[in-house]
Amino acid sequence: MSDIAHPIEHHRDDEGTRLGFWLFLYTELFLFAAFFLVYAVYRSSHLEDFKLAAESLNTTIGTVNTIILLTSSLTMVLSLDALKKGAVKLAKTLLLVTFALGMAFLVIKGFEWSAKFEHHLFLQTAKGIAAGHGSPLLSPGEEMLSVGQVLFFGLYFIMTGTHALHIIIGAIWMLIVFFWISKGSISQDNHGVLERCGLYWHLVDVIWIFLFPLYYLVA
Amino acid sequence: METTPRQSYLNSHTSPKWTSGFMSWFMSTDHKRIGIMYAVAMFSFFFIAVCLGFVMKLQKMYPASSGWEIIPAELYGSFFTLHAIIMIFLFIVPGAPAVLGNFFLPLQIGAKDVAFPRVNLLSFWLYLFGAIMAIVGILLGGADTGWTFTPPYSINTKTISIFGVAFDSISWMLTAAFILGWGTILTGINFIVTVHRMRAKGMGYFKMPLFTWSIYATSWLQVLATPVVGITLLMIVIERIMPVGFFDPSKGGDPILFQHLFWIYSHPAVYIMILPSMGLVSEIIPTNSQKPIFGYKSIAIASCSIAGVGYLLWAHHMFTTGMSDFAAILFSFLTFFVAIPTAIKVFNWTATLYKGSITLTPAMLFALAFIFNFSIGGLTGMFLGSLSTDIHLHDTDFVVAHFHYTMFGGAAFGLIGGIFHYFPKMFGKMYSMKWATTSFAFMFIGFNALYFPMLVLGYYGMPRRYHTYPDMPVFNSLQMASTIGSWILVTGVIMVLVVWIHALLKGKRTTEANPWNSSTLEWQTATPPTLFNFEDDVEITRDPYDYEAFRGEVKAGTSAGANNV
Amino acid sequence: MKTHEQSLSPRIPILVFGALIFLTMATVLLAGLDVGNTGALLIAMAVASVKAVLVLYFFMHLNHEPLIFKLFLGVAFFTLLAIFVLTFSDYSFRVIS
C-alpha cells in the first residue's frame, strides 16, 4: 500500500474567510458582554456607590484615550485602503501610526492605573475582607471603601485590563503584518491578513466606545 | 460510479512532510482523519467516565445502614464531579459534531473539506490539550465542586498540596474547560462558514440533508454561547487569585449572577449535545424506511428554532436559587415553548415510519430507541420546567434521570447509532450485525433498568449527589434495580466498543458505496472516501430524501445503490 | 476578488472620524445634564451605539459586505439583547425586604 501525499490546493475564499473572522469577532464580543452584564447588574443595585467610585476616574484622560483609539481606527482603515490601492509605503506608515497610537493608549492607561490612591484603597479593602479581618488594612487617615465601590473598582481593573490585553494582541499582530507587508506576503492582491487585523482592531475600539461612558461618565 | 479507486483517505495525506505513522494523523488537516482522532480520544474518555459511573452505582447498591461502602462520601463527590466533567466537556459536547460532523458535513454537501482545515486541526489540538489537562487535574485530585463550579464554594475552596507544592486544582480545571471551549468555538465557526460557502452546485439551503441542518444550528450555539461561560469560568479563577468581588458575597458579589452566566451557556449546551444526534436520527430513519422523511422543511426549521428558543431558557436551572418570582415564571413559560419544535421532530420521525419498508439495522434500532428514550427525557423535563413540581423534584434523582434520558438515551444513543450507520463508509469494514444487535439489546434494557427507577426515586425524594440513602423499602428496591441495570448497561457499552474495535481490526472489508441504499450525497463517495471526497464535480438536481428519484438514478446507473436491493 | 467597486478615497473615513469625535465630545457634555440616572444612561448608551454602528458600517466595511454579514450581526445583537433583558427579568424584579 503506497502512501501518497496530496497537499490540498487552497482555493482562496476571501469572503468566506472574512465571514469566519466576523464570527470570531462575535465570540470576542460575547466575552466582553459577560463582563458588561456583571457591570450592569451591580450598577443597577449599587448606583450611588458606582457614581462615587467613578468620581476618582479622570474624565479628561478617558476622553483623550477615546480620541486616541478612534484616531487609530481611522489610520487603520486608511492603511487598508492604501494597500488596496497599491500604495504600500503609505499603508505601512499608517500602520505604524496606528501601532504608535495603540501604545500611547496603553501608556496613558498605565499612568491611570498607577494613580495610587484609589488603587491602593481598593486593594486594601478587598484584601482585608478576603483575609477575614472584616476591616481593611488601611493606614491612618484612609477610609474604607463601601461594597459598591469595591465592586466598581474590581470590575474597572479587570475590564480595562482585559481590554488592554486585546490592545497588546492587536499591536503585536500589527507588527507581524508590517513585517509581512515588507516581505510581500501581504500585498494589494492578497491583503486579507491586514484586513482581519483591522477588523480586530476596530472591535477593540468598539469595546472601548462602550467602556468609556460606563466608567468615566457615570458621575 | 462503478470503479472504486484503491487510494482512499486512509493512505493519502494532506502534507508532504508527514506521510506515515502517528504524525500523519496528528498533523493531518483532512477532516476525515480529524473526525476519527476525535472519536478515539472521546470514546476513551467516555469509557473512563462510564467506569466512574459504574462505581457510583455500585456504591449505592445497599443503604447506609447495611454498612456497605465502596467509596466514602468525599471521594463520591469527586467521582460525580469528574464523571460529569468528562461526559459533558470531553464526550457529549464535542460528540457528534466532532466525529460525524467533521467526517460527514463536507461529504453531505459535496465539499472536499471544511472551510478552514488548519483551524480544524487546531480545534482538535485544543480539545486534546484541554482534555489531558482536565484528566491530569482529575488525577491530582481536589476538584469536588460539582461540574457547575458554583461560588462561593468554588472561590473559597482550598488549594491542595501535592508533594508539598500548592496546587490550585479548581483554577486548573477551569482553565482546562476554557481551553476546551475554544476548540468548540473554532469548530462552530468552521462549520457555519462551510455550510454557507462550500455547498455543491445546485444544493440550495433547503436541499441540504438534515444532519447538515442540525450541525449548522448546533454551530451557532457553539459560537454564541461558549464564550460567555468561558469568560465566566475565568472570572472564578480571577476571583480566586485577586480580591475582586465578582460573585463572592463577602465582597458584595452575587453568586446567583454566576449561575445566570453559567447557565446562559450550559442550557444551550444541552441543545449542542442533542441537535446533532437528532440530525443523525433524521438520516437513519428515512434510510431504513426507504422513503422520504416526513416534513423535511419543518424539521430543518425546527432545528434552528430549538437552537434559538433554547437560548432563552437558562434560568429554569435556577428556580430554587432565590431569583425573582417574575423571572421564574417567565423562564418557566419560555421553557414550554422549546417542546414544540422538539415534538414536531418526534412526530415527523414517527410519521416517516408509516408505510415504510423498515429494516431493523443496528443503526435503526438505536434511532428508534432514541425516540423512545428522548420522549421520556423530554416529557420528564416538563415536570422540571413547571415551577411547582420543580420545587419538589429539583436536586433529586429525578433530574439526574431526566438528563440521562436525554443526554445518554438521546444524544449518546443517537451518536452510537450514527456510528453504526456510517461505519462501513468511514472504514471500508463491516461489523457483525448479530453482535451489534445484541449490544443494542443490552444497552437499551440496561439503560432503562438503570434510569427509570431513578425517576421514581427522585419522586420519592432521593437527593442527587448523595453517596448513600436511608433504609426504606422503596429506596432499597429501586436502588438495587438501578444498580443491576447499570451492570447490564455497562456490558452493552463494552460490547459496542468491542464490536467496533473487532470490526476495525478483523472486520470484513467492503468497498460497497451505499450498503444501506440511502439517498443522501455522502453515500455517493467511494468506500472509504478518497482524500478529496468526490472524484467528479457534484451537481445536485433533486431533494435529499426523494427516494423515488433516487431509485431511478440507481436503475440508470448514475447513483450508487445497495448491491442487494 | 472584489464583487463591487469600493471607493478607496479617504473622504468617507475622515468624515466618519469627524462624526465620531463630535459624538465623543457630545457624550461627555451630555453627561453633565440633569436628566436623572436612567436618562443619563440611556443617552450615553444611545450615543455609544451610534458610534459603534459608524465603526461597524464604515470602518469595518459592513456597508460593502453582502447581506449575510448583516444577518449575522443581527443574530449576535438579538442574542445579546435577550441575554440582558432576561437577566434583568431577575434583577429588576427582586423584592428586597
Using a CB–CB cutoff of 8 Å, tell me whether B260 touches chain C: yes
Using a CB–CB cutoff of 8 Å, tell me whether A24 touches chain C: no
Q: Does residue B110 or residue A218 have the better pLDDT?
A: B110
Least confident span in A2-16, B152-166, C40-54? A2-16
Q: How far is CA B505 from CA B260, B359, B428, in A?
A: 48, 27, 11
Q: Are residues C48 and C30 in the same domain?
A: yes
Cβ pair A147:B116 closer than 8 A? no
Using a CB–CB cutoff of 8 Å, tell me whether B312 touches chain C: yes
Q: Are residues C16 and C32 in the same domain?
A: yes
DSSP labels, B350-386 = HHHHTT------HHHHHHHHHHHHHHHHHHHHHHHHS
Bridge partners (DSSP) listed for residue B430: B508
- B353, part of any domain: yes
Q: Which domain holds residue A210?
A: 17-216
Q: How far is CA B170 from CA B149, B272, B455, in A?
A: 8, 25, 31
How far out from the chain centre does Cα B108 lie?
A: 20
- The count of structural domains within chain C is 2
pLDDT for C3 beyond 50: no
Q: B326, B337, B338: which to substitute to probe chain C, counting the most C Cβ within 10 Å? A: B326
Q: Write out residues 156-185 of A within 8 Å (CB-CB) of C.
A: none
- Residue B565, pLDDT score: 47
Cβ pair B252:A42 closer than 8 A? yes
Q: Are residues C19 and C36 in the same domain?
A: yes
Q: Which residues in B lie closer than 8 A to residue C95 (C-beta atoms)?
A: 324-325
Phi, psi of B224 (to 5 degrees): -95, -15
User: Which of C1, C24, C92 lies nearest to residue A66, judging by beta carbons?
Assistant: C24
- A8, part of any domain: no
Please tell me the distance from the alpha carbon of residue B243 to that of residue A132, in angstroms, as a whole number. Answer: 12
User: Which of C68, C76, C95 lies nearest to residue B224, judging by beta carbons?
Assistant: C76
- Residue B52, pLDDT score: 94
Using a CB–CB cutoff of 8 Å, tell me whether A44 touches chain B: no
- A200, part of any domain: yes
Smallest CA–CA separation between B132 and chain A, in Å?
24
Q: Are residues C49 and C71 in the same domain?
A: no
pLDDT for B1 beyond 50: no
Question: Which residues does chain A have with pLDDT short of 50?
Answer: 1-2, 134
Q: Are residues C49 and C80 in the same domain?
A: no
The 10s digit of each residue's pLDDT in B217-236 is 999 999 999 999 999 999 99
For residue B80, the domain's CATH number is: 1.20.210.10
- Residue A137, pLDDT score: 56
- B489, part of any domain: yes
- C25, part of any domain: yes
Cβ pair B192:A23 closer than 8 A? yes
Please tell me the distance from the alpha carbon of residue B143 to that of residue B82, in angstroms, as a whole number. Answer: 8
pLDDT for B2 beyond 70: no
Q: What is the mean predicted confidence (pLDDT) over B447-455?
A: 97
Q: Are residues C56 and C83 in the same domain?
A: no
- The count of structural domains within chain B is 1
- B330, part of any domain: yes
- B16, part of any domain: no
Q: Are residues C58 and C69 in the same domain?
A: no
Q: Are residues C30 and C43 in the same domain?
A: yes
Q: Does residue B250 or residue A215 have the better pLDDT?
A: A215
- A11, part of any domain: no
Cβ pair A202:C59 closer than 8 A? yes
Q: Per 3-state DSSP, what percentage of chain B is helix, strand, and coil (rounded to 5)?
A: 70, 5, 30
- A6, part of any domain: no
- The chains in contact with chain C, meaning 3 or more Cβ pairs closer than 8 Å, are A, B
- C1, part of any domain: no
- B285, part of any domain: yes
- Residue C1, pLDDT score: 43
Q: A51, A74, A101, A195: which to substitute to probe chain C, counting the most C Cβ within 10 Å? A: A74
Cβ pair A154:B19 closer than 8 A? no
pTM of the model: 0.93
pLDDT for B424 beyond 70: yes
| Lookup result for grid cell 467496533 | B500
Q: Which amino acid is at C90?
A: D
For residue A174, the domain's CATH number is: 1.20.120.80
Of B321, B187, B335, B337, the residue nearest B262 (C-alpha): B321
Sign of the torsion angle spanned by Cα atoms A152, A154, A155, A158: positive
- C36, part of any domain: yes
- Residue B250, pLDDT score: 83
Mean pLDDT of chain B: 92
Q: Which domain holds residue C29?
A: 7-64
Q: Which amino acid is at B272?
A: I
Using a CB–CB cutoff of 8 Å, tell me whether C82 touches chain A: no
Q: Which domain holds residue B236?
A: 33-556
Q: Are residues C32 and C74 in the same domain?
A: no
Size of interface A-B (CB pairs under 8 A): 136
| Lookup result for grid cell 476548540 | B183
- B7, part of any domain: no
Cβ pair A217:C31 closer than 8 A? yes
Q: Which residues in C lie closer than 8 A to residue B326 (C-beta atoms)?
A: 89-90, 93
Alpha helices in B15-116 (DSSP H): 21-26, 31-59, 73-85, 95-96, 102-109
Question: What is the band of B261 on the pLDDT scale with cuts at 50, 70, 90?
Answer: very high
- Residue B167, pLDDT score: 81
- Residue C5, pLDDT score: 52
The 10s digit of each residue's pLDDT in B321-349 is 888 999 999 999 999 999 999 999 999 99
User: Which of B224, B256, B314 lies nearest to residue C79, judging by beta carbons?
Assistant: B224
- The count of structural domains within chain A is 1
Contacts 24+ apart (CB under 8 A), B263-266: B263/B314, B263/B315, B263/B317, B263/B318, B264/B225, B264/B228, B264/B229, B264/B314, B264/C83, B265/B225, B265/B226, B265/B228, B265/B229, B265/B230, B265/B232, B266/B148, B266/B229, B266/B314, B266/B317
Cβ pair B224:A30 closer than 8 A? yes
Q: How far is CA C75 from CA B101, B187, B191, B308, in A?
A: 23, 18, 17, 10
Cβ pair B224:C68 closer than 8 A? no
Cβ pair A73:C91 closer than 8 A? no
Q: Does residue B549 or residue A8 have the better pLDDT?
A: B549
Size of interface A-C (CB pairs under 8 A): 101
Smallest CA–CA separation between C5 and chain A, in Å?
12
Residues 6+ apart with CB under 8 A from B73: B467, B468
- A40 and C84 in contact (C-beta within 8 Å)? yes
Cβ pair C80:A30 closer than 8 A? yes
Q: What is the mean predicted confidence (pLDDT) over B360-368?
A: 97
- C74, part of any domain: yes
- C19, part of any domain: yes
Smallest CA–CA separation between C73 and chain A, in Å?
8
Please tell me the distance from the alpha carbon of residue B127 to that of residue B115, in angstroms, as a whole number. Answer: 19
- Residue A6, pLDDT score: 53
